[in-house]
């Protein structure tokens, strides 16, 4: 069941990115929240290009509301962490978290 939800979230992210031709996705990580709460996920989206001139808070807000609309029929899905990063930001994030 969780894998189906992960795929549903990933597909919605691909649909979101299609709205922005300048965005080229490099990586999408969707995984269950370590809190153990059922159907709550962490989402990290990395773009090879297209995020550089787009404020991180604005792009995350845009993606969040897009996902809310796309996943509306799945009220039981929660997102406890949502990050949209350039590849450079992703490298810095990995250095801090790993």
Which tens digits make up the pLDDT trace of 53-96? 999 999 999 999 999 999 877 667 889 999 999 999 999 877 76
CA 63 to chain CA centroid, Å, is 7
Q: Is the torsion defined by CA of 81, 82, 85, 87 positive or negative?
A: positive
CB proximity list for 22: less than 8 A, separation 6 or greater: 49, 50
- Report percent pLDDT > 90 for the chain: 68
Average pLDDT over residues 11-30: 97
Handedness of CA 16, 18, 20, 22 (dihedral sign): positive
Place of tokens 């080229």: 24
Fold (CATH) for 2-93:
GMP Synthetase; Chain A, domain 3 (3.30.300)
Looking at residue 48, what is its pLDDT? 97
Confidence band for 1, pLDDT divided at 50, 70 and 90: low
């Amino acid at each position: 069941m969780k894998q189906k939800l992960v795929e549903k979230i990933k597909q919605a992210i691909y649909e979101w990115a299609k709205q922005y031709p300048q965005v080229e996705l490099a990586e999408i990580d969707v995984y269950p929240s370590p809190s153990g709460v059922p159907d709550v996920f962490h989402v990290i989206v990395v773009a090879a290009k297209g995020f550089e001139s787009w404020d991180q808070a604005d792009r995350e807000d845009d993606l969040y509301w897009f996902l809310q609309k796309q996943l509306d029929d799945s009220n039981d899905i929660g997102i406890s962490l949502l990050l949209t990063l350039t590849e450079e930001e992703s490298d810095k994030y990995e250095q801090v978290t790993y």
